[in-house]
Amino acid sequence: MSLIVEKYGGTSVATIERIKAVARNVAESAKQGNKILVVVSAMSGETNKLLALAKQIHAKPVERELDVLLATGEQVTIALLTLALHAIGTRARSYTGSQIRILTDPVHGKARIMDIQSARARHDLENGAVVVVAGFQGVDQDNNITTLGRGGSDTTAVAMAAALQADECRIYTDVDGVYTADPRVVPEAKRLERITFEEMLELSGAGAKVLQIRAVEFASKYKIPLRVLSSFKFGAGTLITDEDTTMEQPLITGITYHRDEAKVTVRGVPDKPGIAHSILGPISDAHINVDMIVQNVSADGLADLTFTVSSDDLQKSERILAPIAAKLGAEGIVGDGNLAKVSVVGVGMRSHAGIATAMFKALAEKGINILMISTSEIKISVTIDMEYTELAVRTLHKTFGLDDPAHPAAD
């Protein structure tokens, strides 16, 4: 008998009919002899509806009260799903974050889970009941209601799985797994049977939106096998686990992309310690997220520092840096919007040389200019003009054999 945590997102519980379908799915898992704990999100649209109510009262609602308001969304879903389970003869009990006692830090709106009391859930599971838990929410140590931020239900599911030492955590969503590339861009893209935590983290960081990166980190840390699968369509989905060293790893697992990037170059700054900090410090202080950073020192002892931000933040970044560049005696600031980042990810990279070369060659053959490069142990990312995004993704998908039906990553 396995202990499985199943998580259903907002679109999976968007209507009463969908909630009934989820109940049937859960009942089926339970009938197979598994102990099931279900984590659910608010019905699709509910959170935004509640937010809109709050905004009618206050443009910047105080976060403690916003959390009290938003937490009702998941509370409605747990009650309805539990009723739907009862209606088909499956014993179940619902719990809010406060009732299970999902203890978080007191940072309203983006709280982090500190501890989970699992005794009550375990007791119900051992008595054969399905346990239905509200995702996205917890309480701080003074019993104030907190929320974990968007996508927090994935984190709740993984954290519950870790607390209960579950055999698997299944994230039901509107896609049927993790693909070798975005199927809207690459028709030949294939669902991956398995993928490692590291690869999933790199894919998420590089733009793939299947799972919240925090949830993957959590699962990786506590070694909870994570499965992404569709709540609309039967299938095995994609299993995300620790690296299986007994299996041959595919060279490249997936190609991903992220549009609407921009780069900012501060040219001709004196190359001395502290320059990167004087430039990037104020950017970070303005809550602008910096992705890639490259610094080149030329022969004349002057450096160019380039970094990428979201296109939305380009003008703001230039404005912030203008006086700083002047003070540093820089030659100028050059901004460039409408870029994209394309990444190839795969743990196989560790043991194979030449991936970068193959990547650059393939892009060059299509006339795609590479503006910036950054690498990790299992990922190579390049920044290119946004208009080449799809071409680059399709080219790399083919180059690394992911189009090939016999590729070991393939379904």
CA max distance for the chain? 78
Name which position in 80, 125, 161, 178 contacts a second copy (CB under 8 A): 80
Continuous H helices in 297-373: 314-328, 355-365
Which of residues 38 and 262 has its CB atom nearest to a second copy in the complex? 38
Distance CA 194, CA 391 (A): 26
Contact between 374 and a second copy per CB under 8 A: no
Q: Is 292 within 8 Å of 307 (Cβ atoms)?
A: yes
Name which position in 28, 48, 87, 233 contacts a second copy (CB under 8 A): 87
Sketch the per residue contact string, 242 through 281, with a second copy: x for CB under 8 A, - otherwise: ----------------------------------------
Distance CA 320, CA 280 (A): 10
Q: Which residue in 337, 298, 299 sits closest to 315, CA to CA?
A: 337
Distance CA 228, CA 173 (A): 7
Q: Is 227 within 8 Å of 169 (Cβ atoms)?
A: yes
Which of residues 95 and 197 has its CB atom nearest to a second copy in the complex? 95
Contact between 58 and a second copy per CB under 8 A: yes
Contact between 50 and a second copy per CB under 8 A: yes
Contact between 44 and a second copy per CB under 8 A: no
Least Å distance, CB 83 to a second copy, is 5
Q: Which stretch binds a second copy (CB under 8 A): 75-83, 257-265, 283-291, 389-397?
A: 75-83
Q: Mutual orientation of helices 213-222 and 152-163 as an angle, nearest 10°?
A: 10
Q: Which stretch binds a second copy (CB under 8 A): 88-96, 151-159, 220-228, 403-411?
A: 88-96
Contacts for 397 with CB less than 8 Å, ≥ 6 apart: 180, 181, 186, 188, 189, 255, 403
- 143-182 residues near a second copy, rule: CB under 8 A: 143-145
Q: How far is CA 312 from CA 205, 288, 289, 339, in A?
A: 18, 10, 11, 12
Which of residues 160 and 396 has its CB atom nearest to a second copy in the complex? 160
Q: Determine the 3-state secondary structure of 381 from DSSP.
A: strand
Contacts for 3 with CB less than 8 Å, ≥ 6 apart: 34, 35, 37, 125, 164, 165, 166, 167
Least Å distance, CB 25 to a second copy, is 15
Least Å distance, CB 99 to a second copy, is 6
Q: Which stretch binds a second copy (CB under 8 A): 63-71, 204-212, 222-230, 289-297?
A: 63-71
Number of residues that bind a second copy (CB under 8 A): 36
Which of residues 97 and 250 has its CB atom nearest to a second copy in the complex? 97
Least Å distance, CB 92 to a second copy, is 8
Q: Which stretch binds a second copy (CB under 8 A): 16-24, 224-232, 321-329, 337-345?
A: 16-24
Which of residues 125 and 396 has its CB atom nearest to a second copy in the complex? 125
Distance CA 239, CA 169 (A): 10
State the amino acid at position 235 in one-letter form.
G
Q: For residue 329, what is the DSSP state? A: T
Which of residues 31 and 58 has its CB atom nearest to a second copy in the complex? 58
**Cα 55 to chain centroid, rounded:** 27
Contact between 108 and a second copy per CB under 8 A: no
Contact between 93 and a second copy per CB under 8 A: yes
Contact between 21 and a second copy per CB under 8 A: no
Q: Which residues bind a second copy (CB under 8 A)?
A: 16, 19-20, 50, 53-54, 56-58, 61-62, 64-66, 68-69, 71-72, 75-76, 78-80, 82-84, 86-87, 93-94, 96, 98-99, 143-145
